[in-house]
Structure 1
Amino acid sequence: MRGLTGYAAYVPRHRLGKRVVAGYDEDSTTMAVAAATAARSETEPTAVYFATSSPAYADKTNATAIHAALGLPATAVAADLCGTGRSAFAAMMLAAQTGGIAVAADVRVGRPGSADEKRGGDGAAALVFGDGPVIAEVLGSASRTEEFLDRWRAPGAVTGQQWEERFGFERYSRLVRAAAVDALDAAGVADADHVVVACPNTAVVKRAATLVKGQKTVQVSPLGFSGAADAAVALCGVLDTAEPGDTILVLSATDGCDALVLRTTEHLTRNRQRTSLAEQLADGLAVAPLTYLSWRGLVELEPPRRPEPDRVGAPPASRSVAWKFGLTGTRCGDCGFVHLPPARVCRGCGVIDRMSPAAVAGLTGTVATFTVDRLAYSPSPPMVQAVVDVDGGGRFTVEIADAEPDRLQVGARVRFSFRRLFTAGGIHDYFWKAVLI
């Protein structure tokens, strides 16, 4: 198996009280792109494995959008593993075997008063496996499977259901202990320094420290239960603080229990994610309850009194994949002028077809001018548009995500984030937005 070469978690900025919630323009795909683009690695993934229980599309591979946003070659595999936390663990194992990236993301919606509503959380995480300098070695793994009814959701239902938690705890506790022993034996490790426990059963999470002992810590996801992303998010939190040489036991208990043992290396300290999980959690933007419910389609607010946008056409979207999904323009080979969006004819010197790709998704920029439009069609008005000068060349008009009009000013610094502009005719219009730094 390959080792872990990079990782990153993504925590949406919006907060409903203390609960982390994705914005109206975020879904499992956009959050997966945010985590995947933030995961630093010296090796390029050969495959993308995407796990979620809240896919943006059915009958279409969502991982291909992540593949396009990362700008990976056509030879790289992109596949969905939809369902539960067990699907996410399968993605991790596949990535470790092939040298790919495992990405997990979920948008959780709970019934009023339910544990999902109180303890759920939206988020994503990406784990990159490959050769070369690894930040953690894979020492061993184990799995236990058992069929019982603890949590379920009917296809097409917005919210799920859960049996009385004591029933699930009795079964999960035995499986967790057994999988932990098997994995540690396979790894040749007596006890792990850090233990990560992920489970949809709240009783298991509450009693995690009594089920398996960690020499230093026993951790669960600080987001609350984040579905398929739960174990990967919690692992990212451990990697933010672990020391070189520490062993980490990851336990993902969903319809059984899967276990993975890692040992961190000396490369971890200089290859941690740029913004830690704790820092992302501390940066919140309050959202009103009624606004949040409208984002999830649970209440219908008065729509903007403007014509709704037309659905995206497949042929034009396929012709502009590099720009639409990868935010890649063109740079003139003669004068260096950067065109955003891409162009064949240089606006600087007039030369034709002398262009090379110019990717700007990972760059930052400066707001040259902006406008706050309170009349334009938007699921969450006002719509804020800005002209951004990209560092290294190029200028284009882009919408501001997570808009705070009072903070926005000419000269403000921004980065770029993959978002969903709107949905029409069942088709999601994905593109990039600017986010204040």
Structure 2
Amino acid sequence: MNALVAYGSYLPHHRLDLTDIGAVLGTPGGRGRRTVAGYDEDTTSMAVEAGRAALAGFPRDEIGSLLLAIGEPPYLDRTNAAAAHAALRLPGSALAMDLIGSARAGAAALATAATSPGPTLAVLSDLRGGLPGGADERSGGDAAAAFVLAPPRPDRPALAEVLATAWTTDELFDRWRVPGEPASHVWEERFAEGPYTDHGLDVLRRALREAGVEIGAVDHLIVTGLHQRAARAVAARAGARREAVTDTLVTRAGNPGTAQAGLLLADVLDRAGAGEVVVLVVLGDGASCLVLRTTAALPDHRAPVTVASQLEGGAPVSYGTFLTWRGHLVREPPRRPDPQPTAAPPAHRATPYKYGLVAGRCSACDTVNIPAEHVCVRCGAVDTQQPHPLAERGGRVVTFSIDHLAFSPSPPVIAAVVDFAGGGRLICELTDVDPGDVVVGMPVRMTFRRTASAAGVHNYFWKARPDVTAVSGEPANTQAASAHG
């Protein structure tokens, strides 16, 4: 099998305190908080952010396949993974495919990546919610996680080896949602609790037997699924040491459905030591189990940003704003024309720039042109521009404006001029920031977002968000930027 050689996670910036639900609706809202994707985020954009984290130190041109597991796909009839493929600047020869519509899709993506030929990027992403005041709204969450599984080499050591997998499949009609419906239907939990518990224990025992590992030797047991009572029952009856059973993060982040297995696995990898056994059990239409053993390379090659650090960050969002972003509360829109849908032919011609944020650096005068053009804006040289990716480069705000009238689901719109480290100037939107906190000189980094939707067409492009790493003193974006173009 392929080994796990890189990983990354993404939690959106916003947090909803569950007590706010009860304060508005007059019903119990629950304890804790959940992660909330912004109005300009969806499962594809979050998948790109997690994928960028996983590929931070991995050669993108070596990826042979992209498997995108999403519970809430932005599109049907077209491959959502194609947009992520373009934004991540993966090779055109790489296969990009979706696994959509169920929590089980996440485990399927990981298992398929483990047995795929060559390096494979598996990304798990989901937005979970439900009707206002419902259990799914309270217990849901939004997140993404990504994993690169590939044959290990001296220059890319294995962080964890996949020891075994096991599956069961059962037609358990406990949860369903017809396409187009805003929330799931659920039978009483007691109906499926027994079968799910049996399936979870079955795959756990078979996978451990195949791996040659005793349950007492398991260092981290992750049991997840949308049926949380069954997940708790499997964890309690597995026979693992109590300290080995991992926190499901439900009270801190919620349950992001398809992405929860990836989020919990990334959290364990963030803190596991060398030579530890990690077991992942996912309940859904049966059960799935993966057994991994970490290697001595893990402590020195962890993800650049941990799940724990992301949980500690974020900003509160009101319940009214949350309902608006989810489409449950229709509010008066700004008095400006609605956005126009993107036209396919010009969008395709500009794919490297629009999705990958690839500019052009003139080989004659070293000027960065955004976007790349046939004629350099500074020296006039023709066809001298070389691809110059900007997505991973930091920048700083040169100037900005705050527009309270421009069309946006969450006004005001903050437009900024950003100078990139190493050259290049771009006018773009700022996101994940309070208007009162924006200042000239603020360090920012780029983030892939859904800028607008019109006539059923989603328009994706890049926005800038505050770079917390640079603010804390890290050198990520401290290089002075020269502005051209």
TM-score (norm 2): 0.88
2:228 to 189, 194, 202: 202
1:218 to 221, 241, 245: 245
Aligned residue number for residue 347 of structure 1:
377
SS at structure 2 position matched to 1:348: coil
Q: Letter of the 1:150 partner, please give it.
A: D
Deviates more, 1:94-103 or 1:239-248: 94-103
Supply the distance in 2 between the matched residues of 1:228 and 1:241 (Cα, whole angstroms). 22
Supply the distance in 2 between the matched residues of 1:213 and 1:69 (Cα, whole angstroms). 44
After superposition, the CA RMSD in angstroms is 1.3
Give per-residue Cα distances to partners, 1:268-320, cap 9 Å, x unaligned. 11221111111111112111211111111111100110111111000110010
Supply the distance in 2 between the matched residues of 1:367 and 1:189 (Cα, whole angstroms). 53
Deviation, structure 1 residue 48: 0.5
Aligned residue number for residue 286 of structure 2:
256
Aligned residue number for residue 16 of structure 1:
16
Supply the distance in 2 between the matched residues of 1:235 and 1:26 (Cα, whole angstroms). 23
Once the two structures are superposed, the pairs formed by residues 125-140 of structure 1 within 5 Å of their partners are 125-131=145-151, 132=153, 133-140=157-164
Supply the distance in 1 between the matched residues of 2:318 and 2:254 (Cα, whole angstroms). 20
Deviation, structure 1 residue 220: 4.7
Matched-pair contact (CA < 8 Å) for 2:197–2:233:
no
Aligned residue number for residue 163 of structure 1:
187
SS at structure 2 position matched to 1:269: helix
1:399 and 2:429 correspond? yes
1:78 and 2:93 correspond? no
Q: Letter of the 2:87 partner, please give it.
A: A
Give per-residue Cα distances to partners, 1:346-402, cap 9 Å, x unaligned. 123221101110001111101111111111111110000110010111111010012
More helix by share: 2
1:114 to 110, 118, 134: 134
Matched-pair contact (CA < 8 Å) for 2:63–2:91:
no
1:28 to 22, 43, 58: 43
Supply the distance in 1 between the matched residues of 2:237 and 2:304 (Cα, whole angstroms). 32
SS at structure 1 position matched to 2:97: strand
Deviation, structure 1 residue 208: 4.8
Q: Letter of the 1:308 partner, please give it.
A: D
Deviates more, 1:207-216 or 1:56-65: 207-216
Matched-pair contact (CA < 8 Å) for 1:413–1:436:
yes
Q: Letter of the 1:280 partner, please give it.
A: Q
Supply the distance in 2 between the matched residues of 1:32 and 1:182 (Cα, whole angstroms). 31
Deviates more, 1:151-160 or 1:382-391: 151-160
Matched-pair contact (CA < 8 Å) for 1:45–1:129:
no
Supply the distance in 1 between the matched residues of 2:219 and 2:183 (Cα, whole angstroms). 36
Q: Letter of the 2:227 partner, please give it.
A: N
Supply the distance in 1 between the matched residues of 2:339 and 2:321 (Cα, whole angstroms). 21
Matched-pair contact (CA < 8 Å) for 1:150–1:201:
no
Matched-pair contact (CA < 8 Å) for 1:195–1:212:
no
Q: Give structure 1 stretches of 5+ with no counterpart.
A: none
Q: CA separation of 1:214/1:271 partners in 2, compared to 1, >3 Å: closer, same or farther? A: farther
Matched-pair contact (CA < 8 Å) for 2:200–2:234:
no
Q: Give structure 2 stretches of 5+ with no counterpart.
A: 18-32, 468-485
Deviation, structure 1 residue 16: 1.4
Supply the distance in 2 between the matched residues of 1:82 and 1:205 (Cα, whole angstroms). 22
Q: Letter of the 2:90 partner, please give it.
A: L
Deviates more, 1:39-48 or 1:103-112: 39-48
Matched-pair contact (CA < 8 Å) for 2:40–2:452:
yes
Aligned residue number for residue 197 of structure 2:
173
Supply the distance in 1 between the matched residues of 2:130 and 2:232 (Cα, whole angstroms). 19
Supply the distance in 2 between the matched residues of 1:386 and 1:345 (Cα, whole angstroms). 26
Aligned residue number for residue 144 of structure 1:
168
Supply the distance in 2 between the matched residues of 1:114 and 1:240 (Cα, whole angstroms). 32
Aligned residue number for residue 106 of structure 2:
88
Matched-pair contact (CA < 8 Å) for 2:201–2:234:
no
1:304 and 2:319 correspond? no
Supply the distance in 2 between the matched residues of 1:413 and 1:212 (Cα, whole angstroms). 48
Supply the distance in 2 between the matched residues of 1:114 and 1:378 (Cα, whole angstroms). 27
Matched-pair contact (CA < 8 Å) for 1:221–1:231:
no
Supply the distance in 2 between the matched residues of 1:84 and 1:41 (Cα, whole angstroms). 30
Aligned residue number for residue 30 of structure 2:
none
Q: Letter of the 2:109 partner, please give it.
A: A
SS at structure 2 position matched to 1:432: strand
Q: Letter of the 1:15 partner, please give it.
A: R
TM-score (norm 1): 0.97
Matched-pair contact (CA < 8 Å) for 2:231–2:283:
no
Q: Letter of the 2:142 partner, please give it.
A: D
Supply the distance in 1 between the matched residues of 2:7 and 2:114 (Cα, whole angstroms). 13
Q: Letter of the 1:34 partner, please give it.
A: E
Aligned residue number for residue 67 of structure 1:
85
Matched-pair contact (CA < 8 Å) for 1:61–1:80:
yes
Deviates more, 1:55-64 or 1:91-100: 91-100
Q: Letter of the 1:129 partner, please give it.
A: L
Deviation, structure 1 residue 213: 4.0
1:427 and 2:454 correspond? no
Same amino acid, percent of matched pairs: 43
